[in-house]
Every structure is written in C-alpha cells, then in structure tokens.
C-alpha cells in the first residue's frame, strides 16, 4: 500500500514532517547508525532525535547498562557522547538533511551548560533541539531538573536565550504535577513538548542479590509504560491546546493503534524507540496503519484527529 504523505504530513513547531513518527533519542545513535539497516529509509520518518549531548565528552555509566524486563527495557547509559562540538563538526556533516529532520538532544548538569550546548547547536544545520531536563543538577544537590517546575523553567529560559530554533522540552513522568511543569515551561518559551521520558525502575539479580544495572536503577521504556504515557499526554495537552503548543507522544508505541491512541489523546506527532530494537522496520507498518485508519474514518489529515478524545461522564 502506497503511503499518502498528505494524510501523514505534520507541522510540528513550524517544521514540515512527512510522517508523524519521530525516532527517539538514544535509540538511533547520532542518526547515521540506523541508515545501515537494510530496508530502512529516513523518508519513512518525520524526524530523528539524536543521542543526548553534553558540553564535554562523557564515557557514561558502568555496565550493565541495559536490562530486559517484562514488556519493556531498563537503560542507564549515562549520556555517553563525544561532546557537542564534536557532534556538530564531525557527525552532522554525515547526515542528509534533505531526507528528514534532525533534532539535537541537549543535556547538561548545570543551567549554564544547557545554554552553552544550545548555543553550539544553534550555529549548525540542526532543525530543532530537544531539552532533556531529566538530568541531575550538580549545583543543587543532584535534584533532577525535570522534577521541579521552577528548575525546568530556568533551563528552558536559558536555552531560549541561546537560540531561535524550535525548542522541545522532554518532560519527566517522575514528578508530582506534569501539567504544572508544562505550564511553567510554556511561560519560559518552549515551542513544544516530548511526553514522556522514561520512568525510573530497578531489576535485581536474585543470585548475586544486587541490582542488574550497574548504576542500580535505570529508565523503564517499552509497552509497560504506555498507559502512564497516554495519561500524561492527555494532562499536558490540557495546558497546550490554548497556546497551540504541539506534543510528541511517546512511551511504548509498537504499532499503528498505539500511535493513534497518543494522537487522539493530544499528540501531534509520535515517538518510536524501544520497538526499534526488535523490529527495526516498524515505522513503515505504523505509517500504513495510520493512513488506513484515516481513510476508514474519512479524515483528510492526521491533524484532524489530534486531541479528539471524549471523556466518559
């Protein structure tokens, strides 16, 4: 079945995407790795989010860094990356910006670092930047930026000063009130959201009586978190719709039905990550399934479906 790009086309933060699918940060390296898979084309996705990048190079956490769980996966990579300047100078020139959009993932341990990494990517061909606020603030006791609305807003405001390119704030589910955090980030200048990041979890080796993950805990992704992610997208959408702020809905999307649920809940685009590890070509199937649904319900474009959820009385 040939895909109808007009039905799949998305305007996300002013970026024209040929598909609502965004490949998530950490799952496809710095973009060039995934192109090695036979049968994959960047034209099957609307955008690719690059691996989390800090100002200086990082080796990441001690192994083990991954652990399979029921209906999901734990990861604790620790932001292993070569540093922002190396990514801009050595990695971005290898990417074909005519095929799809590329989004940098900005990470840091201080507000100043977020701002500087954003400034480096601003002077590059990158299309947009995702702010990974699920990082510990080393200057304030290691509290995660994304779990405190005030600190989240400070990071967004700093990044906003450093660029006019679209900023997408990646919200953590590990907080008390995700909608309030979204409101503060909107006030600080974010252009969009990615909802949600992973939930924190643990796996234990019962023979060693030690955590499987070298860092003791890791981020849980995959189908297990989908119901939580759907609720968070719905909650954030209540803050976003009045301001026309788009959402990338993500968390356990494995097929077209999953993607459609997120769109109905309020997402303008959908993120695919963990599913790529066991079905690298899943994006073709998701695109085809979305088109089939739109045709069945006589909908001209995916935007006609965004936020159409009707709650029970």
Which residues are annotated as catalytic?
135
Angle in degrees, CA 180, 185, 191, rounded to 5: 130
The tokens for 27 are 């799952």
Write down the residue that tokens 């989240």 correspond to: 152
Residue 124 vs residues 92, 191, 198, 256: alpha-carbon distances, Å: 8, 19, 28, 34
Distance CA 132, CA 142 (A): 15
* 305 secondary structure, DSSP code: G
Per the CB < 8 A criterion, the answer to whether 262 and 249 are in contact is yes
Per the CB < 8 A criterion, the answer to whether 292 and 253 are in contact is no
Per the CB < 8 A criterion, the answer to whether 141 and 167 are in contact is no
């Amino acid at each position: 079945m040939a895909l109808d790009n007009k039905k799949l086309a998305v305007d996300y933060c002013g970026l024209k995407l040929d598909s609502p699918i965004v490949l998530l940060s950490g799952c496809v390296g710095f973009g060039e790795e995934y192109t090695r898979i036979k049968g994959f084309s960047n034209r099957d996705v609307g955008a690719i989010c690059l691996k989390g990048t800090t100002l200086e190079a990082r080796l990441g956490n001690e192994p083990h860094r991954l652990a399979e769980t029921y209906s999901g996966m734990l990861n604790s990579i620790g932001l292993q990356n070569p540093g922002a300047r190396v990514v801009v100078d050595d990695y971005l020139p290898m990417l074909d910006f005519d095929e799809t959009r590329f989004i940098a993932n900005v990470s840091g341990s201080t507000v100043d670092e977020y701002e500087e990494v954003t400034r480096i990517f601003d002077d590059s061909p990158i299309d947009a930047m995702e702010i990974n606020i699920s990082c510990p603030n080393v200057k304030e006791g290691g509290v995660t930026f994304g779990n405190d609305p005030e600190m989240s807003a400070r990071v967004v405001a700093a990044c906003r000063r450093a660029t006019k390119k679209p900023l997408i704030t990646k919200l953590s589910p590990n907080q008390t009130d995700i909608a309030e955090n979204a409101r503060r980030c909107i006030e600080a200048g974010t252009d969009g959201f990615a909802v949600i990041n992973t939930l924190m979890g643990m796996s234990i080796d019962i023979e060693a009586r030690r955590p499987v993950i070298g860092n003791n805990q890791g981020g849980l992704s995959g189908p297990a978190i989908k119901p939580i992610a759907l609720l968070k997208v719905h909650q954030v959408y209540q803050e976003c719709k009045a301001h026309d702020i788009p959402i990338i809905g993500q968390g356990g999307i494995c097929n077209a039905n999953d993607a459609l649920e997120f769109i109905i809940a309020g997402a303008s685009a959908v993120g695919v990550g963990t599913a790529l590890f066991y079905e690298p070509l899943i994006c073709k199937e998701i695109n085809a399934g979305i088109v089939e649904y739109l045709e069945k319900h006589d909908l001209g474009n995916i935007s006609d479906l965004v936020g159409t959820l009707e709650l029970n009385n």
